[in-house]
Amino acid sequence: MPIATVNPANGETLKTYEAMGEEEIERRLQLAEATFRTYRMSRFVDRGRLLLQAANLLDEDQRDIGRIMTTEMGKPVKQARAEAAKCARAMRWYAEHAEALLADERPPDADVTDSGASRVRVRYRPLGPVLAVMPWNFPLWQVIRFAAPALMAGNVGLLKHASNVPQTALYLEDLFHRAGFTEGCFQTLLIGSGAVDGILRDERVRAATLTGSEPAGRAVASTAGDMVKKTVLELGGSDPFVVMPSADIDRAAQVAVTARVQNNGQSCIAAKRFIVHTDVYDAFAERFVAGMKALKVGDPMQEDTEVGPLASEQGRADLEELVDDAKRGGAAVLCGGRRPDWPGWYYPPTVLAGITREMRIHREEAFGPVATLYRAGDLDEAVLIANDSPFGLSSNVWTRDEAETERFARDLEAGAVYVNGMTASHPAFPFGGVKRSGYGRELSGHGIREFCNITTVWQGA
């Protein structure tokens, strides 16, 4: 895949870039290693000061970088600006909390005495250069939620971004440099996916994090396993959105629309499978379909656009295949289901009902504004349908029954359970999944400790 900015609203190639050669890659690896030796010794207060400056610069750049993101991957420009603002908030959060999150820990005194030590500490030390392989769908946020904690922990970053968002990738490197971080603290590698394996095998790279497709995750995990290197993987998701009879149906349907089409439906944590108790199925379906039909699809640069184009022509083709397979299997199309006849890689908000286990869309992630509706006879069946997926990233539950809330929190196979609200990522909450959605956690204290050497310091009497 060429490294290029291709506007998904019209298919026009705007900029192309040459991939870095071996000599430049080697220079950057050397720089990362050399920088880490000194940066790891820096104080939290100094790292935090630099990160706060980066957050301030990002706030100032919000409109410009928002337009770049929209041009490169098609999200509505209002959502792009909101993504930039969210990144700045996350940087400030880590600048404020990192030192406390990584403070030395002490076991209980009784356990220390029993070990024969006069003092025992658990210390969190940085690992070294971390390779981040990042996707295009949230081209700022996916990177910042790795970079902010990694830099505050004393690591340095090497970014291999998706090949269709090169301007965003270069902006991120420039942002950290303008903030005052030395050149080797954060570097963008303009490379194709074929170069990742060799870089990950380099001894100077100590760990890797990837957000992306399951095949990409398998490839990185395989290489990292061969090299015995730590990885964090955030892969696909096909999140359930369960609606029970006690729910506020109007509110649930309203949030369901946003939960399905946020970022043009191209979000791993977007709700995709809507599992509704039979007692309220018809009422929910009527409201949900009406809301999906009412969305404005169009030019993502327009302030009132709610759904823009998909990021790539191949992405739209993959989505169409899933929908067409469901149609052939007997699924009912309640709205959408056919591409519009105008330029760009648009696909309409679509709702499918009558889904069976034989349909591909039941097992595969629909990365676009396509929702599937399921009818559940009771709570047990709702849980069974929700867990009948190879993925387990997040989940949504709508109920005002506390016993039902506890049951879903206990039994849903997911990294998060959001009750009466839409799944969202927040710097204070751990983020990640189970099953084929990956392993490890980003954000919160759990995320910043993923790329630390958790060190026991034992002192005798």
| Active site positions, annotated | 234, 268
Q: Work out whether the CA dihedral 278, 280, 285, 286 comes out positive or negative.
A: positive
- Contacts with 334 (C-beta within 8 Å, 6 or more apart), sequence order: 285, 289, 351, 352, 353, 373
- Contacts with 370 (C-beta within 8 Å, 6 or more apart), sequence order: 265, 272, 319, 322, 323, 336, 347, 349, 350, 351, 352, 361
Phi-psi region of 415 (alpha: psi -120 to 50; beta: other; left: phi over 0): alpha
Of 222, 173, 182, residue with least CA distance to 57: 173
What is the rounded distance in angstroms from the CA atom of residue 347 to the CA atom of residue 354? 21
Of 189, 188, 96, residue with least CA distance to 149: 96
Which DSSP string do the residues of 229-272 spell out, in sequence order?
-EEEEE----EEEEE-TTS-HHHHHHHHHHHHHGGGG--TTSEE
Exposed/middle/buried for 356, CB within 10 Å: 0-12, 13-18, 19+? exposed
